[in-house]
């Protein structure tokens, strides 16, 4: 198990190479590499290969593992209007993941227009099967696994976070098992902490981790106050991390401990990125030591 | 018990009133007000009163308590060379504390250059008793209590942090009890975590908290890696916080959870101070919940 974090915010300021170096200097041994920059994904195949292999080469040189990548994600309207274009971009994100020497890409499930709680459950499944199935040839060709992440949505009437596509482990398992061997789970710890509806008691750390079990290959580790998706470092919110670690240990989780708390980095002066990443690393280390 | 933070770094950028407003908006209800600006302390006595009373008024308007202040502090050489001037500065800091309606001021004990481990113990004690005694009339005049803080120093031969004046609870108790009713203890959690030398095993949380007992009126809450004085928010280091909070609960600690983690704030863009303080508040709230449960 390695301790990892996102490259996203530092990459936006200094580019990918400097981002990796800063993270490595701060103590991290793995990175969740952001593929959210569409312009990079719009390159043709040969340019894509050169661009991302160069990053891989640099990561190898400085001794940091690209443990997982994060594909671009879109709001409901965008994803429906640009469906074919988005599939194409995700295929390129899969290629980029492979060129980076990375095994896992996180691609959010789609949420249909009306998908809150269990409304439009079947329609959403159909839509997602179409979406993810279109990616299978690329996943097979480039030997990459697609990690489906647990999500949340906004209840516009009650103005609270509520369940949506893949909020429950049961729906994630349904998707993953239906789609086959190229699909695994990414558990976003912070997202679980945002669901409090009494009909969803199974959206709990213990139940979700137990249910996902061997399918769980990557994590998005972050904390919040149970109300806002704050993406804070672990222990800066109210998550019971002992319960999380206990459940992960029980299923023999063998992946990385990858932090997704880059909101924290958006507050920081660029010249202090390394020191701030040191702070995130220190929180992650406390969690790592609990394993 | 309230949750507090420092004003120091935001004050340097935006001044004291905006600093209080930002910290208040982030959720904090109390402040550890920095008196590090000597320029402010050397205002004429009438202006000094007015300046700090205005801050007090602003704090009241926004519902922020000015619970504790931090006096300026100096390295051993400067302190020995300018002792009389420093006493005058600290008297002014006490007056400012009184004008702000705050009850506690933290004034670091002096350490001579030689005061490492137990070397120069008696001389340090004599110097400190003289230093602190000179402040008693002012403390009484303004109804302010002086909090003596647990300290550390640098062993330049072994190149590590080591004990000095008031590193141990025993030395703090000796000072506080000899100096009398205007003296209390400020426990700095981060400093406790830096001492690992043989012969100083009693510099640990349970022993320090139990020994200081109800003399502990205020805290400097911060975390570190056990090696460097990083002044990080709680949980960003390796302090065993469950143990610290349990011990504070056992002695019936009634003061505030006041963060002294402004080192982190020096990394933050000024336009993000409030968001960064919100994150700090979140970490403090986790501690608060441990002690309140």
Tens of pLDDT, residues B83-128: 899 999 999 999 999 999 999 999 999 999 999 999 999 999 999 9
Strand B160-162 and strand B153-155: the pairing is antiparallel
Of B58, B53, B63, the closest CA to residue B101 belongs to: B53
Lowest mean pLDDT among A154-158, A205-209, B257-261: A154-158
ipTM reported for the complex, 2 dp: 0.90
Q: Do B235 and A225 touch (CB under 8 A)?
A: no
pLDDT at B34 over 90: yes
- The answer, yes or no, to whether residue B177 has pLDDT greater than 90, is yes
Which of B142, B137, B125 minimizes the C-alpha distance to B176?
B125
Predicted pLDDT at B80: 83
List alpha helices for chain B, DSSP H: 8-14, 16-25, 38-41, 45-62, 76-81, 83-99, 121-133, 136-142, 169-179, 189-192, 205-212, 241-250, 262-265, 273-292
Confidence at B236, pLDDT banded by 50, 70, 90: very high
The whole-angstrom distance between residue B47's C-alpha and the CA centroid of its chain comes to: 26
Q: State how far residue B283 is from chain A, nearest Cα, in angstroms.
A: 4
Residue A17 has pLDDT above 90, yes or no: yes
Partners of B282 on chain A (C-beta within 8 Å) are 223, 225, 230, 232, 236-237
Residue A13 at interface with chain B, using a CB cutoff of 8 Å? no
Mutate one of B235, B265, B271, B273 to test the A interface: name it (highest A CB count within 10 A): B235
Nearest to A275 among B267, B279, B282 (CB): B267
- Position A75 confidence tier, pLDDT thresholds 50, 70, 90: confident
- Are B236 and A237 in contact (CB < 8 Å)? no
Q: Number of Cβ pairs closer than 8 Å across A and B?
A: 64
Residue B268's pLDDT band, with cuts at 50, 70 and 90, is very high
Q: Which H or E run contains A258?
A: strand A257-258
d(CA B107, CA B91): 11
Task: Calculate how close chain A gets to B92, using CA atoms only, in Å.
Answer: 35
Cα dihedral: A170, A176, A181, A184 (round 10): -90
Identity of the residue in A225, A266, A272 whose CB atom sits nearest the CB atom of B282: A225
* pLDDT, tens digit, 9 for 90 and up, residues B180-227: 999 999 999 999 999 999 999 999 999 999 999 999 999 999 999 999
- The structure's pTM equals 0.92
- Give the pLDDT score at A78: 80
- Residue B292 is predicted with a pLDDT of 82
Contacts of B265 in chain A (CB under 8 A): none
Contacts of B234 in chain A (CB under 8 A): 235
pLDDT at A167: 97
Å between A289 CA and nearest CA of chain B: 10
- Band of the pLDDT at A79, cuts 50, 70, 90? confident
Residue B146 pLDDT > 90, yes or no?
yes
Shortest Cα distance, chain A CAs vs residue B204, angstroms: 19
Q: Closest Cα partner for A258 from A229, A226, A217?
A: A217
CB contact (8 A) between residue B289 and residue A238: yes
Q: Please give the pLDDT value at position B184.
A: 98
B184 Rama sector, left if φ>0, alpha if ψ -120 to 50, beta otherwise: beta
pLDDT of residue A26: 97
**Nearest CB partner across the interface for A283, out of B235, B269, B276:** B235
Integer CA distances (angstroms), A164 to A96, A115, A201, A230, in order:
29, 6, 15, 19
Lowest-pLDDT range of B78-82, B235-239, B253-257: B78-82
- Give the burial string for A257-288 (b: 16+ CB within 10 Å, else e): bbbbbbbbbebbeeebbbbbbbbbbbbbbbbb
Q: What is the pLDDT of residue A80?
A: 79
Residues of B in contact with A279 (CB under 8 A): 232-233, 236, 264, 267
Residues A267, B279: C-beta atoms closer than 8 Å? yes
- State mean pLDDT over B128-144: 97
Tell me the shortest Cα–Cα distance from B69 to chain A, in angstroms.
Answer: 26
Q: Which residues in chain A touch residue B286, judged by CB atoms under 8 angstroms apart? A: 235-238
The pLDDT value recorded for residue A177 is 98
Encoding tokens for residue A237? 């919110």
Q: How far A260 CA lies from chain B's nearest CA (Å)?
A: 15
The pLDDT assigned to A279 comes to 95
Question: pLDDT-derived band of residue B75, with 50, 70 and 90 as boundaries?
Answer: confident
pLDDT of res. B81 = 86
Residue B60 has pLDDT above 90, yes or no: yes
Which residue of chain A has the CA closest to B231?
A: A279
What's the alpha-carbon Rg for chain A, to the nearest Å?
A: 18
Residue A1 has pLDDT above 80, yes or no: yes
CB distance B220 to B213 below 8 Å: no
Q: Does A241 touch chain B (CB under 8 A)?
A: no
Q: What is the reported pLDDT for A59? A: 98
Interface test mutation site (partner B, options A22, A242, A282, max chain B beta carbons within 10 A): A282
What average pLDDT does the segment B44-49 reach?
Answer: 96
The mean of the pLDDT values for chain A is 96
Q: Is the pLDDT of residue B293 over 80?
A: no
pLDDT of A39 above 90? yes
- Range B263-274 average pLDDT: 96
């Amino acid at each position: 198990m390695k301790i990892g974090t996102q490259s996203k915010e530092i990459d936006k300021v200094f580019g990918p190479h400097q981002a990796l170096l800063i993270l490595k200097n701060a103590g991290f041994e793995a990175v969740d590499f952001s593929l959210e920059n569409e312009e990079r994904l719009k390159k043709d195949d040969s340019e894509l290969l050169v661009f991302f292999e160069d990053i891989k080469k640099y990561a190898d040189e400085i001794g940091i593992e690209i443990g997982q990548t994060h594909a671009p994600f879109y709001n409901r309207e965008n994803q429906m209007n640009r469906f074919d274009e988005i599939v194409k971009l995700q295929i390129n994100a899969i290629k980029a993941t492979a060129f980076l020497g990375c095994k896992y890409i996180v691609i959010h499930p789609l949420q249909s227009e009306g998908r809150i709680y269990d409304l439009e459950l079947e329609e959403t499944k159909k839509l997602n099967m179409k979406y993810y199935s279109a990616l299978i040839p690329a996943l097979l060709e480039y030997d990459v696994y697609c990690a489906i992440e647990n999500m949340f949505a906004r209840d516009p009437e009650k103005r609270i976070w509520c369940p949506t596509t893949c909020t429950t482990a049961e729906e994630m398992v349904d998707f993953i098992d239906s789609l086959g061997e190229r699909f695994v789970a990414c558990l976003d710890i912070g997202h679980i902490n945002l669901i409090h509806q009494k009909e969803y008691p199974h959206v709990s750390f213990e139940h979700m981790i137990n249910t996902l079990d061997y399918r769980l290959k990557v994590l998005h580790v972050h904390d919040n106050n149970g109300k806002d998706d704050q993406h804070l470092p672990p222990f800066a919110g109210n998550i019971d991390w002992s319960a999380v670690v206990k459940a992960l240990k029980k299923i023999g989780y063998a992946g990385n401990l990858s932090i997704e708390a880059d909101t924290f980095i958006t507050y920081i002066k660029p010249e202090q990125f390394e020191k701030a990443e040191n702070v995130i690393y220190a929180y992650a280390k406390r969690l790592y030591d609990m394993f | 018990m309230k949750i507090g933070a420092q004003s120091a770094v935001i004050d340097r950028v935006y001044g004291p009133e905006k600093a209080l407003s930002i910290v208040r908006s982030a959720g904090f209800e109390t402040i550890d007000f920095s008196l590090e600006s000597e320029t402010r302390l050397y205002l004429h006595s009438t202006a000094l009163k007015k300046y700090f009373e205005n801050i007090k008024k602003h704090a009241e308007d926004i519902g922020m308590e000015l619970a504790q202040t931090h006096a300026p502090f100096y390295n051993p050489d400067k302190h020995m060379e300018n002792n009389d001037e420093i006493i005058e500065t600290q008297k002014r800091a006490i007056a400012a504390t009184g004008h702000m309606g705050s009850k506690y001021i933290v004034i670091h004990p002096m350490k001579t250059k030689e005061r490492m481990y137990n070397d120069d113990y008696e001389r340090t004690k004599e110097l400190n008793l003289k230093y602190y005694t000179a402040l008693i009339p002012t403390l009484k005049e303004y109804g302010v209590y002086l909090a003596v803080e647990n300290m550390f120093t640098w062993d330049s031969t072994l190149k590590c942090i080591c004990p000095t004046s008031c590193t141990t609870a025993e030395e703090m108790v000796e000072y506080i009890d000899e100096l009398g009713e205007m003296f209390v203890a400020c426990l700095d959690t981060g400093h406790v975590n830096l001492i690992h030398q043989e012969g100083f095993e009693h510099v640990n949380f349970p022993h320090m908290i139990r020994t200081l007992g109800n003399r502990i009126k205020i805290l400097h809450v911060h975390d570190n890696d056990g090696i460097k004085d990083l002044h990080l928010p709680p949980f960003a280091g390796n302090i065993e916080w469950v143990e610290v909070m349990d011990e504070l609960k056992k002695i019936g600690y009634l003061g505030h959870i006041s963060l002294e983690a402004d080192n982190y704030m020096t990394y933050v863009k000024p336009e993000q101070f409030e968001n960064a303080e919100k994150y700090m508040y979140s970490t403090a709230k986790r501690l608060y919940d441990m002690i309140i449960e």
